[in-house]
């Protein structure tokens, strides 16, 4: 499990160059089938456009990368769009840039610039989340130990997902994998080994619109 950025919420960006309109639409995708289905939806939506160029990246390590110029001169649309996605280090994303021709030829350099700019604008209007590998840890303590655990979590910038109060206190905490050893050691030392520590499943989490999201 490694940190990686994904598209979490789609967005739209628009750029105009010499009366040609370039509309970039992004979409979260988890498979090549989803990416191709999205591209087809955009072609149907913008059926009257001159071109619907596309690019997508899929996989935690960007294993799948594809792009299409959709009739534009080779390497002037899809590849520049893909380069923008690669530069942003984002995966599980598909983008379609729709072009309405304005009557003026842009030339190779103008096309590359326009498709790149539209893609960048689409990304800026999307929500991108960095997925961080973590482990869910449940801590069980008496009420005297609760403050110590809250302090440790706060000092390490950890997220407390849930706290349950019965005759004891149980806390579910998300701990980045790289910090698990340090966290367990701090909890053990602070509570003199009296805190019950349960290491549970591994998962990913990220921050989207100021909220913690667990994947």
Residues 6+ apart with CB under 8 A from 69: 51, 53, 75, 76, 77, 78, 79
β-bridge pairing 196-208 and 211-214: antiparallel
Task: Quickly count: other Cβ atoms within 10 Å of residue 8's Cβ.
Answer: 21
Q: What pLDDT, on a 0 to 100 scale, did the predictor assign at position 108?
A: 93
With a threshold of 0.75, does the pTM exceed it? yes
CATH code reported for the domain at 4-125: 3.30.230.30
Which pLDDT band holds residue 1 (cuts at 50, 70, 90)?
confident
CATH of span 131-214: 3.30.70.240
Distance (Å, whole) CA 8 – CA 212? 12
Q: What is the pLDDT of residues 69-92, one digit of tens each?
A: 999 999 999 999 999 999 999 999
Instruction: List, as own/partner pairs, every contact residues 158-161 make where C-beta atoms lie below 8 angstroms and the sequence separation is at least 24, other chains included.
Output: 158/183, 159/205, 159/212, 161/136, 161/212, 161/214
Q: What is the pLDDT of residue 156?
A: 96
Give me the residue spans of the domains in the chain. 4-125, 131-214
Count of residues in the chain: 215
| Distance (Å, whole) CA 68 – CA 74 | 9
Mean pLDDT of 59-66: 95
Over the chain, what is the mean pLDDT?
A: 96
Question: Encoding tokens for residue 9?
Answer: 């919420």
């Amino acid at each position: 499990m490694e940190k990686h950025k994904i598209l979490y919420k789609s967005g739209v960006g628009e750029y105009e160059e010499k009366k040609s309109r370039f509309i970039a639409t992004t979409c979260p995708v988890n498979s090549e089938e989803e990416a191709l289905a999205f591209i087809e939806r955009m072609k149907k939506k913008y059926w009257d456009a001159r071109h619907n160029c596309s690019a997508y990246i899929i996989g935690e390590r960007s294993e799948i990368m594809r792009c299409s110029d959709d009739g534009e001169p080779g390497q002037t649309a899809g590849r520049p769009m893909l380069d923008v996605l690669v530069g942003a280090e984002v995966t599980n994303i598909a983008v379609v840039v729709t072009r309405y021709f304005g009557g003026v030829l842009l030339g190779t350099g103008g096309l590359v610039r326009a498709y790149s700019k539209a893609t960048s604008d689409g990304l800026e209007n999307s929500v991108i989340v960095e997925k961080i590998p973590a482990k869910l840890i449940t801590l069980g303590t008496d009420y005297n130990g609760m403050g110590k655990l809250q302090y440790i979590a706060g000092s390490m910038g950890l997220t407390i997902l849930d706290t349950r109060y019965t005759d004891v206190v149980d806390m579910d905490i998300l701990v980045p994998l790289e910090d698990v050893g340090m966290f367990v050691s701090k909890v053990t030392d602070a509570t003199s080994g009296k805190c019950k520590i349960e290491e549970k499943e591994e998962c990913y989490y990220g921050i989207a619109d100021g909220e913690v999201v667990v994947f």
